[in-house]
């Protein structure tokens, strides 16, 4: 993509809709940086019953929540559609049925209001969550390009070099499970509730991270990640500890869940941290950025915040997991660079960032 001058949009307000997975969210963001209103309708409790996201249930819930979430956001910001400058929406990657609900509502709003439509990549949104703040919390940090972005969510784990706005070079990504997916699967193995990340973090507080020696996949000479070996090692360990060698005996009271959770979390965090630091040195970046649901993990945040080689920007917890403020922020920069989309655009359930 060619680097273009940012067109001046004084006080441009972008309304965004996010419905790629199990949160229905809307937000209005001014100048890509200040959140004027934001609503997230979480389906977490519903999906917890199934131990993971149930796609058909997710899209039906999005249909029920999408319009009320937009109306609530407009009311919170004391704005009407004709006070806005664009409608942004997550176009992908994500669950097809869920994405369709958000995109169709965004198209309807854009058509009815005459505002431009902007399709945003969900991963791009996660990165922009680092530079947006609620209006009562002062100005968010400015990006210091070039920067190294570690994007860790339930569906993705990748290292991106950002040389400027909307400019991404993916250096590497997971070859199998995403970090969040590994947290969710291991939580299930340990009989901890969905979503697995927060459950493992909570259990790990009471555990010893050195209790079990677990494998780390360094994948030398690449910036890729792999968590399937760690997941398998956890499965074998749990089977050994249960003394059965096979599934079937669930919830043995003797399973040292806290130590297992702490050892697993330490293995994931160490690989994410060391590989990101090495990449940051190699590309001589000015800062490190963490984004995505797993960047809510306190152990991961701590290890980055406790080093002083690079400044680190990690979004507040409410912006780490899926939200629409990040989509509005990314949408603003797309608008400011002159990118809008026709109403004929379709969803892109698999859409790499670069
Ligand atoms: O970014 P996100 O909300 O959705 C995707 O785009 O995937 O990320 C959700 C993922 C889930 O796998 C969840 O278990 C993980 O983020 N997660 C965490 C924590 N909070 C959420 N993982 C580790 N520690 C946490 N505190
Ligand atoms: Zn996400």
Domain with CATH 3.30.420.40 in the chain: 2-142+319-340, 147-310
- The full DSSP string for 46-86 is HHHTTTS--HHHHHHHHHHHHHHHHHHHHHHHT--GGG-SE
How many other CB atoms are there within 10 angstroms of residue 242's CB atom?
17
Report whether residue 37 contacts ligand 1, using a CB cutoff of 6 Å.
Answer: no
Neighbours of 249 (CB within 10 A): 11
Pocket test for ligand 1, best of 156, 180, 269, 301 (most atoms within 8 A of CB): 180
Ramachandran sector of residue 141 (left: φ over 0; alpha: ψ -120 to 50; beta: rest): beta
Answer for the pair 190, 261: CB distance below 8 angstroms, yes or no: yes
- Cα separation, 101 vs 103, whole angstroms: 6
For the CA of 321, the closest atom of ligand 1 is 3
Ligand 1, closest atom to CA 196? 14
Q: Is 155 in the pocket of ligand 1 (CB under 6 A)?
A: yes
CATH class of residue range 2-142+319-340: alpha beta
User: Tens of pLDDT along 52-91?
Assistant: 788 888 899 999 999 999 999 999 999 999 999 999 999 9
Residue in 163, 123, 172 with CA at minimum distance from that of residue 143: 163
Q: How far apart are CA 348 and CA 354, in angstroms?
A: 14
Distance (angstroms) between ligand 1 centre and the Cα of 153 equals: 5
CATH fold of 147-310 reads: Nucleotidyltransferase; domain 5 (3.30.420)
Strand 86-92, strand 117-121: pairing = parallel
| CB of 92 sitting under 6 A from ligand 1 | no
Q: What is the pLDDT along the chain (354 residues), one digit of tens a residue?
A: 333 445 556 679 999 999 999 899 999 999 999 999 999 998 888 878 877 788 888 899 999 999 999 999 999 999 999 999 999 999 999 999 999 999 999 999 999 999 999 999 999 999 999 999 988 888 899 999 999 999 999 999 999 999 999 999 999 999 999 999 999 999 999 999 988 999 999 999 999 999 999 999 999 999 999 999 999 999 999 999 988 644 544 545 579 999 999 999 999 999 999 999 999 999 999 999 999 999 999 999 999 999 999 999 999 999 999 999 999 999 999 999 999 999 999 999 999 999
Measure 344 CA to ligand 1 centroid, in angstroms.
32
pTM across the whole model: 0.93
The CA 47 to ligand 2 mean position distance, Å, reads 16
């Amino acid at each position: 993509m060619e680097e273009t001058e940012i067109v001046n949009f004084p006080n441009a307000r972008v309304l965004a809709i996010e419905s790629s997975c199990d949160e229905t969210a809307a937000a209005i963001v001014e100048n890509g940086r200040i959140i004027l209103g934001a609503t997230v309708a979480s389906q977490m409790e519903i999906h917890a019953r199934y131990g993971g996201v149930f796609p058909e249930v997710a899209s039906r819930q999005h249909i029920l929540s999408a319009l009320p979430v937009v109306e609530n956001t407009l009311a919170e910001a004391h704005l009407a559609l004709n006070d806005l400058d664009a409608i942004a929406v997550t176009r992908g990657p994500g669950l097809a049925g869920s994405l369709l609900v958000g995109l169709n509502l965004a198209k309807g709003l854009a058509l009815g209001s005459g505002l431009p439509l902007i399709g945003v990549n969900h991963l791009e949104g996660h990165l922009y969550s680092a530079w947006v703040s609620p209006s009562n919390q002062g100005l968010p940090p400015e990006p210091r390009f070039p920067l190294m972005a570690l994007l860790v969510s339930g569906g993705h784990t990748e290292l991106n070099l950002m040389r400027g706005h909307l400019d991404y070079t993916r250096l590497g990504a997971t070859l199998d499970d995403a970090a969040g997916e590994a947290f969710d699967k291991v939580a299930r193995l340990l009989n901890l509730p969905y979503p697995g990340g927060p459950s493992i973090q909570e259990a790990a507080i009471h555990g010893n991270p050195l209790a079990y020696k677990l494998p780390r996949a360094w994948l030398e000479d690449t910036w890729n990640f792999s968590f399937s070996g760690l997941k398998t090692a956890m499965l074998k360990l749990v089977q050994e500890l249960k003394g059965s060698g096979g599934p079937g005996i669930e919830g043995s009271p003797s399973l040292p869940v806290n130590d297992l959770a702490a050892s697993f979390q330490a293995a994931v965090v160490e690989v994410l941290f060391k590989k990101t630091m090495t990449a940051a040195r190699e590309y001589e970046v000015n800062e490190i950025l963490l984004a995505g649901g797993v960047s809510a993990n306190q152990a991961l945040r701590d290890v980055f915040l406790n080093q002083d080689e690079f400044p680190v920007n990690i979004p507040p917890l409410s912006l780490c997991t899926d939200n629409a403020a990040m989509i509005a922020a990314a949408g603003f920069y797309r608008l400011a660079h002159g990118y809008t989309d026709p109403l004929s655009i379709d969803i892109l359930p698999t859409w790499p960032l670069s």
